[in-house]
Amino acid sequence: MVGHRVVEMGKNGKIVRTVASVYGGTRLDGPNDLTIDAKGGIYFTDSHFSPGEDLKQDVPMVLYVTPAGKVVKVIDDINFPNGLELSPDGKTLYVVNTNGADKGRAIYAYDVQADGSVSNKRTFAELQLTPANESKADGVSGADGTAVDTAGNFYVATTQGLGIQVFDKNGTHLGNIPCPAACNNLSFGGADMKTLYVSAKDGVYKLALLVAGKNPPM
């Protein structure tokens, strides 16, 4: 985020290449999260958030880096786009919103087109809010990082005390996984992809799940 770019790094921590650093000839504000499609295209959020620096882009947005390396804007009407994931079949893009007029309740879903663009915006599910955020005019969901498993279950890390909120492929809320501290990001791993790693404000946690996470494209 503070480097205003998306980079690919090797296992040794060295930068292999810069994936994206500008859009429309202007530097990015704060790239936040990303997901990769089966063609090698990359969706990422630029949340119009650049601590201590002037904002350069006009609006918060979701951008798509085509397999050929072209950066195109695909979404520009979410207040604070944050975590995002593709469904296991790659046909649906999910984007969570951290705050806004609805306090960031909505998880949005879009149909993915052959060229990587998206259409048919709709609300996939609504996040729970703590009583404090429900009652405050400026309350927020605190939606942050996300993950998807092979069954299409959708996991959202939230920073406001409700841990990881979990929804099935139809958007039904299955329950919350408590976190010892505010949790920010999620990633499946392990030999069988059944370990969910959780980054939080006081460390990195892991928990074993019954369903494997969606494998990243190779």
pLDDT digits (tens, 9 = 90+) for 138-152: 999 999 999 999 999
The per-residue pLDDT for 149 is: 97
User: Catalytic residues, which ones?
Assistant: 144
Reading the block at residue 96, the tokens are 């969570």
The per-residue pLDDT for 216 is: 72
Q: What sign does the CA torsion over 37, 40, 43, 44 have? A: positive
Nearest CA-CA partner of 46 in 146, 55, 156, 38? 55
Q: Quick count: other Cβ atoms within 10 Å of Cβ 40?
A: 13
pLDDT surpasses 90 at 52: no
- Domains and their CATH numbers in the chain: 6-208 (2.120.10.30)
pLDDT surpasses 80 at 50: no
Q: How confident is the model at residue 217 (pLDDT cuts 50, 70, 90)?
A: low
The pTM for the full model equals 0.94
Mean pLDDT of 179-205: 95
The per-residue pLDDT for 1 is: 81
Percentages helix, strand, coil for the chain (3-state, rounded to 5) are 0, 50, 50
